[in-house]
Amino acid sequence: KAGVTQTPRYLIKTRGQQVTLSCSPISGHRSVSWYQQTPGQGLQFLFEYFSETQRNKGNFPGRFSGRQFSNSRSEMNVSTLELGDSALYLCASSLLYRGSIGYTFGSGTRLTVV
Amino acid sequence: GEDVEQSLFLSVREGDSSVINCTYTDSSSTYLYWYKQEPGAGLQLLTYIFSNMDMKQDQRLTVLLNKKDKHLSLRIADTQTGDSAIYFCAESHYMKTSYDKVIFGPGTSLSVIP
C-alpha cells in the first residue's frame, strides 16, 4: 500500500516567487492536512481539506492557499515568497475526516527561500 | 486556548526505560497521540489514546493519561539506539462549528546513549 507522496522533496526558490507543492494521500483517504515545520515554531497547522472543501484553516497569511482535487490529491501554493517561508512542509492524510485516528504523514517538501 | 507542552530534550542509556511527558490545556481533547520523527522523514504515528482511557500498552510502548492533570506520558521500555528521534505529543477534539484539527507539541528529542 503506497504511503503519502509529496513532491518535490526539495525546492529552492527566490524571494518574491511563488511555489506549488503537491501531495497524494493514501488511496481511500479523503482528508488531507498541511503543516509547516520550522525549528523555531515547530509544527504549525496550515489547512485541512475533505472532499475538495477546506474544512479548517490555521493562522497563516493569505499568501498560503491550497486546494483538493476530486481524486483527493492536494496542492498548496505560497505566493510572494519570503525568507521566513523556508521550512519543511508536511502533508498528512487520514481516513476519517476528523483526523481522529491519526494521520499518515508524507516525508515532506523542504523549501528553501533565498 | 489550545496548547501542548513537552520538555525539549531527553537522554537515556540503551536498555533503560524512557519516559516522555506532555501536558495539554484543552480539557475537551478527545484523542491524544504520540508521533515519532526520524531525521529527514515525516511523522509516524506510534500510538493514540482516547480521552476516556487511562492507559494503553503496545509492545514496548505504554501510554498513561491523567485527564485530571491533563498529563500524558509515553514510556518506552528497553530503549534502543533506533529509538533516537523526536517524539511529538498531539491532541485533537471536536469543535462545535468546525472540524478537528490536530495540535502538536514542540517535540522531545530523545538521545539514546549506547
**Choice between A82 and B101, residue whose per-residue pLDDT is larger:** A82
Q: How far apart are CA B90 and CA B63, in angstroms?
A: 13
Q: How far apart are CA A23 and CA A9, in angstroms?
A: 11
> B96 touching A, CB under 8 A?
no
- Burial of A114: CB neighbours in 10 Å, binned 0-12, 13-18, 19+: exposed
Give the pLDDT confidence of B32-74 residue by residue, as tens digits: 999 999 988 889 999 999 888 899 999 999 999 998 899 999 9
- pLDDT at residue A40, rounded to an integer: 85
Q: Is the peptide bond before A39 cis (omega within 30 degrees of 0)?
A: no
- pLDDT at residue B43, rounded to an integer: 93
Inter-residue contact B104 to A42 (CB < 8 Å): yes
The model's confidence at residue B1, banded by pLDDT at 50, 70 and 90, is low
Give the pLDDT confidence of A77-87 residue by residue, as tens digits: 999 999 999 99
> B100 touching A, CB under 8 A?
yes
pLDDT at B94 over 70: no
> Do A99 and B101 make contact, defined as CB atoms within 8 angstroms?
yes
Mean pLDDT of A74-102: 87
**Which B-chain residues 23-82 have CB contacts (< 8 A) with chain A?**
30-31, 33, 35, 40-45, 48
Select the residue of A55, A99, A105 nearest B43 (Cβ to Cβ).
Answer: A105
Q: How far apart are CA A104 and CA A93, in angstroms?
A: 5
Q: How many CB atoms lie within 10 A of CB A63?
A: 13
Percentage of the residues of chain A whose pLDDT score is greater than 90 = 76
**Choice between A102 and A7, residue whose per-residue pLDDT is larger:** A7
pLDDT at A95 over 80: no
Mean pLDDT of B73-92: 96
The model's confidence at residue A34, banded by pLDDT at 50, 70 and 90, is very high
Low-confidence winner among A12-16, A75-79, B46-50, B99-103 (lowest mean pLDDT): B99-103
